[in-house]
Amino acid sequence: MEKLNVPEQISNDKLKDIYKQMWLIRYFDEKVDEFFAKGMIHGTTHLAVGQEASAAGACAVIEQKDKITSTHRGHGHCIAKGATVDKMMAELFGRTTGYCKGKGGSMHIADVEMGNLGANGIVAGGIPLAVGSALTAHMKKLDYVTLCFFGDGATNEGSFHEALNLASVWNLPVIFICENNQYGMSGSVKEMVKVEDIATRSKSYGFPGVVVDGNDVVEMMNVTNEAVERARKGEGPTLIEAKTYRWKGHSKSDAKKYRTREEEKEWKAKDGIKRFKEVLLEANILTEEQEEVLRKEAKKEVEDSVEFAKNSPMPGKEELLTDVYA
């Protein structure tokens, strides 16, 4: 039996952790979907069910000192970077025990201690922030890299092009990860972008662009690890295009009328969690019994996070103007 082709720092125990983490991301988003439907969580939310492999794979090869910036569809990035689902769920419930004391909600979770510089409600809003983070590392000679997650829709924003140009000119330690889930809101990427692969846009800025199967967590690890090593050696940025698919709508109010059920079925057959399970079983890294235990542990963590959130206090009137800056 051949050894699984993963970066050398990824142990078998780490692979099991990644598998559990993927289930944690899925169960969290499914539970959030349920509570929004029941009116128990307010505001809006954007779910990444079906996209677990890109977040888990990319974040698996970086360290706590490294940074990430996220998107409005950011729960998976947050969990993959080490956040606890207790504080995340509390944030969505608007409780003081949440990451932002219940004031940020789904689109604005940040966990600076773990290197998560925050999700962002503005399309492409996190891309310039990631370049700023990388510029800080460069100027202060700090040994960290920044992963910058964004969707295919963000690549048509001016800030995407400005940020990639600056990162290239200054040779910054940033890895741009485009999670191409085929749709920007209701617009198909095929109608919005003329090039076949968004990754080719990196050529305009003189650094590598790589297309990866975003539902293959092992491939995500290997490609991201290579980009991280380049960045740490001072060789500059990389653009990774992870081709994936969101199973749910753009947001809670999306009926998905712009795509076919056949297309959804085709992509669900490429489920990253199911594929990773098969890889681990085939490599004798996981048994069926161990897989069931990990899956149940992930589900219990999410269920426990709901109880934590429900039992946490709401902010009082005296908190209305705290953390507000003029």
- The pLDDT tens digits for 83-94 are 999 999 999 999
β pairing state of 209-213 and 187-188 = unpaired
From CA 27, how far away is CA 126, in angstroms rounded?
25
Map residue 113 onto helix, strand or coil. helix
Percent of the chain with pLDDT over 90: 90
Q: What is the pLDDT at residue 304?
A: 98
Q: Tens of pLDDT along 99-114?
A: 999 999 999 999 999 9
Question: Domain map of the chain by residue range?
Answer: 12-309
From CA 50, how far away is CA 259, in angstroms rounded?
16
Closest C-alpha among 99, 109, 228, 123 to residue 179: 123
Residue 151 has pLDDT above 90, yes or no: yes
From CA 141, how far away is CA 125, in angstroms rounded?
25
β pairing state of 183-184 and 238-243 = unpaired
Q: What is the mean pLDDT of residues 248-273?
A: 92
Residue 2 has pLDDT above 80, yes or no: no
Q: How confident is the model at residue 55 (pLDDT cuts 50, 70, 90)?
A: very high
Q: Helix %, strand %, coil % for the chain, to 5?
A: 50, 10, 40
Q: Is the dihedral of CA 288, 264, 223, 118 positive or negative?
A: negative
**Structure-token pair, residue 319:** 């908190």
Q: Which residues pair with 149 in a beta bridge?
A: 177
Q: Is the dihedral of CA 298, 247, 124, 322 positive or negative?
A: negative
Q: Which residues pair with 203 in a beta bridge?
A: none
Superfamily covering domain 12-309: Thiamin diphosphate (ThDP)-binding fold, Pyr/PP domains (3.40.50.970)
Q: What is the pLDDT at residue 1?
A: 41
Least confident of 38-52, 75-89, 279-293: 38-52
Q: Contact 100/110 with Cβ under 8 angstroms?
A: yes
Average pLDDT, the chain: 95
Q: What is the pLDDT at residue 120?
A: 93
Q: What is the mean pLDDT of residues 142-151?
A: 97
